[in-house]
Amino acid sequence: MTERIKSLLERTFDKEQRKFRRDVDWKPLLERFIADGIDDEARARIGLVEMLKAETPAFMDGERLAFLRTVRGIPDLHSDAEMDARRAAGTAFGEKGVVFNLTADFGPTIRDGLDARLAEISTRIEQAKAANDAEGVGFLENAALSTRAVLDLSDRYRAAAEERGLSEIAATLAQVPHKGARSFHEALQALRILHYAMWCEGEYHCGLGRIDQYLLPYFEADIAAGRLTEETALEELEEFFIACNRDSDLYIGVQQGDNGQSVMLGGVTRDGRPAFNALSRLCLKACGELKLVDPKINLRVDRSTPLEVYKLGTELTAKGLGFPQYANDDVVIPALQRWGYELEDARDYSVAACWEFLVPGCGMDINNIDAVSFVGSLDAALRTMVGRSPRDRRGGQGAGRPTIVYEDVEAKFLAEIQRRADALVEKYRHVEILPGPFVSVISMDCIANARDICKGAKYNNFGIHGTGIAVAVDSLASVRELVFERKLVSLDELVHLLDTDFEGRPDILAAAKAAPKMGNADTRVDEIARRVIAFWGHVFDGRKNGRGGVFRPGTGSAMYYIWHAREVPASADGRLRGEPLSANWAPALDVPVKGPVSVVRSFTEPDLGPVCNGGPLTIEIHDSAFAMPDGVEKVAHLVKFFIERGGHQLQINTINRETLLDAQAHPERHRHLIVRVWGWSGYFIELDKEYQDQIIKRVELK
């Protein structure tokens, strides 16, 4: 790492960039929107224009890539009351309603420049006018004004740079983003501006996508021309990565670090050739040197990926960054094809933010629109079987009923999953997305179609998470063993014990905890998982969403693992009331497992293709694993093993429980400590205690 980068890194960590910030009172703008009845598209455009106008060019000493957020908050475009009224009138929104969890099509605009987009817009406006397409004209006008606002700020940056004698920045901004980038440096500067502008427009969880693909031509040309060496290219990349950490505390997320600045490396090209290249390698190296939470690195691999690539990835894991997260092309590409993605697009996949698979530029998928609680479904199913609701605590009567068998319980559970899935299909019949004129300009086909991306892109699918799958499957195994095989309790008694948190029956609680658990390569429970996943994978077959897309079930939990845990009492696997669920596709917490090989074996037993919305297996590895020189190679073999067994997605957390406990007690000593939370890495000390505790619990007794 060069001295310049070291200094930028330290000052970014010390939050020097925050000294440039100020607050703007955006309330009057919102009041004007409401009073004047301004429409959504105009609001989005005006919001961006005003936001960028309020920005003041600012530079950190020693930087070569400009653009820094100086206004803390972005304008609210709609009041809560307005949004509530629309919801009440039957419109559903994904989260906040705006475009989010999306990766724009950065490559073409880096290549062509925004002036070229403006030229296309002017041509297209004439056509739209000729065709009396008022909606199209409206969109294109807003798109042009939004684009000009971005260019205006860029011009102000250029002037300010000139004024301060920052001639290199001024020269770069004389080229990009107006015109196409001619060098790796210009390409990075253009990317920084486009990405920055998305956040200012109100989009969030803005991914960066396949930077090792769309930046490759500039990198290769510069290397070939001798303008760049591997060392100087590394420095460029490192500066860009540091920049991703400057404004990130202003980005919307459930927790600090949950900002979706994901990068996808490797995989195959659109025509199917291996895509892991010298730039991919350099990205891994830059991350390893910087040890920052952003950008979050994803690495696409497949059966043919050599061990050496896994070792490069594992070297990052060893540094405790919680990434790379691996995605398996052998599973994901065919899965996307089954959902209707064209082969070339499927080969071009990235992740939306955390882990939901998305094709940058042409996907307006809402990848996490909702979740089905597997623990909630089982709880409900058990209660219908004994004829009791959660509020009814009276003893159940089993006499006189036909004898039930375990298979009835499983069938009831699956029926409940289906019922909840169908309810979601209904709930999201009419989903609207609020417009993003600028992000539309840098996404595929919007100008040609003369429509905002919010009206739909090439792909408009919805992703549905499945939460607490392991806990539910373990609970089924426990019900089978305790109620039907060993007959220790009746189903009625068991449900009563769930309500009373196993009070007075430590023997049943112990038996529940001792029942087979996922993560031990135990067929008694893994075969249940296999059936449950097979069912979940097809639960939305034949259903369309209101935007013409399909529903994609997944094994992710996002933040639902915290929320859904609160909705159920104890569960039959021995999880007590209030104890958290495991995040994503992972063994239940507190479950003794034989080790990571068995965990991989259990969790790759089901066919994961049909549940490929995303949601990784998360494995915690103690940091001492990397104390031995061959630790990296062994962990790399574990990842390779997961991929070869048909796993879809994997993240590995290097963790030391004592360190985490110490960090809770003495946060000031651990400000660099990074952990993987659900689909992203964050600084441990910045997380709420509930999330910290869940992570500590993950590593207990393992």
Partner 1 sequence: MKSGRVFEIREFTLHDGPGVRTTVFFKGCPLRCAWCHNPEGQSFEIETIHVKTSVGSRVSRDRIVGQDWTADALATELLRNADIMAQSGGGVTFSGGEPLAQAEFLLELMPLLKEKEVHLAIETGGHVPHETYRRVVSRMDFVYQDLKLLDAAAFKRWTGGDLDIVLENVSWLRGSGVPFVFRVPCIPGVNDDAASRAAFDAFADGARIEYLPYNAAAGAKYPMLGRIFPMATLG
Residue ranges binding partner 1 (CB under 8 A): 502, 506, 509-510, 513, 521, 574, 576, 594-598, 601, 624-625, 628, 630-631, 633-634, 637-638, 640-641, 644
Supply the DSSP symbol for 16. G
CB of 593 to partner 1, least distance (A): 9
Minimum distance between the CB of residue 637 and partner 1, rounded to whole angstroms? 4
Instruction: Provide, rounded to whole angstroms, the least separation between the CB of residue 615 and partner 1.
Output: 23
**Smallest distance, Å, CB 342 to partner 1?**
34
Q: Nearest distance from residue 639's CB to partner 1, in Å?
A: 11
Q: In this structure, how many other beta carbons lie within 10 angstroms of the beta carbon of residue 95?
A: 13
Q: How far is the CB of 299 from partner 1 (least distance, A)?
A: 19
Mapped onto helix, strand or coil, the DSSP state of residue 58 is: coil
3-state secondary structure 92-132: ECCCCCCCEEEECCHHHHHHHCHHHHHHHHHHHHHHHHHCC
Closest listed residue to residue 191, CA positions, set 297, 104, 63: 104
DSSP string, 431-479: B-----HHHHHTSTTHHHHTS-GGG--SB--EEEEEESHHHHHHHHHHH
HEC string of 161-220? HHHCCCHHHHHHHHHCCCCCCCCHHHHHHHHHHHHHHHHHHCCEEEECECHHHHCHHHHH
Region of 610 (left: φ > 0; alpha: ψ -120 to 50; beta: rest) is: alpha
User: Is 224 or 627 the residue whose CB approaches partner 1 more closely?
Assistant: 627
ω into 295 cis (within 30 of 0): yes
Distance of alpha carbon 570 from alpha carbon 581, whole angstroms: 11
CB of 631 to partner 1, least distance (A): 6
CA 494 – CA 431 distance, rounded (Å): 40
Which of 549, 574 has the CB closer to partner 1?
574
Shortest distance in whole angstroms from residue 595 CB to partner 1? 3
Closest CA to 311 of 289, 333, 285, 293: 285
With respect to partner 1, which residue has the nearer C-beta, 538 or 594?
Answer: 594
Task: Give the nearer residue to partner 1 in terms of CB position, either 368 or 475.
Answer: 475
| DSSP secondary structure string for all residues of 244-310 | TTTSGGGS--SSTT-S--EEEEESB-TTS-B---HHHHHHHHHHHHH--S-SEEEEEE-TT--HHHH
Please give the Cα distance from 354 to 615 (Å, whole number). Answer: 9
Q: Would you say 310 or 678 has its CB closer to partner 1?
A: 310
Cβ proximity to partner 1, 506 vs 542, nearer residue = 506
Looking at the Cβ atoms of 102 and 529, the one nearer to partner 1 is: 529
Q: How far is the CB of 404 from partner 1 (least distance, A)?
A: 28
SS3 of residue 429 by DSSP: coil
Nearer to partner 1, 115 or 644 (CB): 644
Query: Please, are residues 619 and 596 in contact by the beta-carbon 8 Å criterion?
Result: yes
- At its nearest, how many Å lie between partner 1 and the CB of residue 575? 11
Which one, 24 or 509, has the nearer CB to partner 1? 509
For residue 496, the minimal CB distance to partner 1 (Å) is 16
**Cβ 40 vs Cβ 435: under 8 Å:** yes
Q: At closest approach, how far in Å is the CB of 390 from partner 1?
A: 22
Cross-strand pairs, 585? 617
Kindly tell me which of 566 and 594 has the beta carbon lying closer to partner 1: 594
Nearer to partner 1, 554 or 596 (CB): 596
Taking CA atoms, 528 is separated from 274, 385, 407, 572, 589, in Å, by 37, 19, 11, 15, 19
- Of 173 and 593, nearer to partner 1 (C-beta) is 593
- HSE-up of residue 452 (Cα within 13 Å, Cβ side): 24
Whether the CB-CB separation of 153 and 52 falls below 8 Å is answered with yes
- H helices of 567-653, in order, are 596-603, 631-644
Q: HSE on the CB side for 492, CA within 13 Å? A: 13
> Of 574 and 682, which CB lies nearer to partner 1 in the complex structure?
574
- Burial status of residue 115 (CB atoms within 10 A of its CB: 0-12, 13-18, 19 or more): middle
Beta bridge partners of 301: 328
Min dist CB 696 to partner 1, Å, is 13
